[in-house]
Amino acid sequence: MTVSRLVYISRARQPVADGMVEAILETARTKNAERNVTGLLLFDGMNFMQLLEGPTYEVEAVFNAIIADDRHSDVVRIVSETGVQRQFPGWSMGYAFAPGDRLPEGKGWFPLTNGSLQAALPSKVDPAVRMLFTSFLSVARAA
């Protein structure tokens, strides 16, 4: 199967509603599992960065729904590649959050600090992908 990878950044609509990220993750994990899409979502309370990977058609379909979602705006695609290795095969949607975020640890999410994120990433993650997450963290609001 040819795997495509898409990464975008966006800005959450403020103020962020209670339970918004939990609701997004619940939908994302269910739908992505049906579509054979996996990836990782980072959120610092202000901006999102999300990596989606899977069959091209499915990744683009999910991204089209995401673009139309009014819980965020200013969606900018920053990576679009095809014929790549899937990096997060076990993660229907992993999640990392900023230290100020209220989500508890566990259940497939972890705090958004550089060391902990790097440690939580699957060990074989492509250096270019790792670099993207590191870049996001270096400008993350709460990092």
Ligand X SMILES: Cc1cc2nc3c(=O)[nH]c(=O)nc-3n(C[C@H](O)[C@H](O)[C@H](O)COP(=O)(O)O)c2cc1C
Q: 35: which residues sit within 8 A by CB, 6+ positions away? A: 54, 55, 58, 61, 62
Given the complex with ligand X, which of 72 and 86 has the nearer CB atom? 72
Amino acid at 5: R
Per-residue CA distances from 101 to 49, 80, 95 (Å): 15, 29, 12
Residue 130 in the binding site for ligand X (CB under 6 A):
no
Given the complex with ligand X, which of 67 and 128 has the nearer CB atom? 67
| Dihedral Cα 78, 143, 119, 135, nearest 10 deg | 30
Closest contact distance (angstroms) between CB of 18 and ligand X is: 15
β strands within 56-108, DSSP E: 72-82, 94-97
Given the complex with ligand X, which of 4 and 123 has the nearer CB atom? 4
Binding residue for ligand X, selected from 28, 49, 129, 137, defined by CB under 6 A: 28
| Subset of 80-109 contacting ligand X (CB under 6 A) | 93
Residue 48 in the binding site for ligand X (CB under 6 A):
yes
Residue 135 in the binding site for ligand X (CB under 6 A):
no
The C-alpha atoms of residue 54 and residue 38 are separated, in whole angstroms, by 7
Contact residues toward ligand X (CB under 6 A) are: 24, 27-28, 31-32, 41, 48, 50, 52, 62, 65-66, 69, 71-72, 93
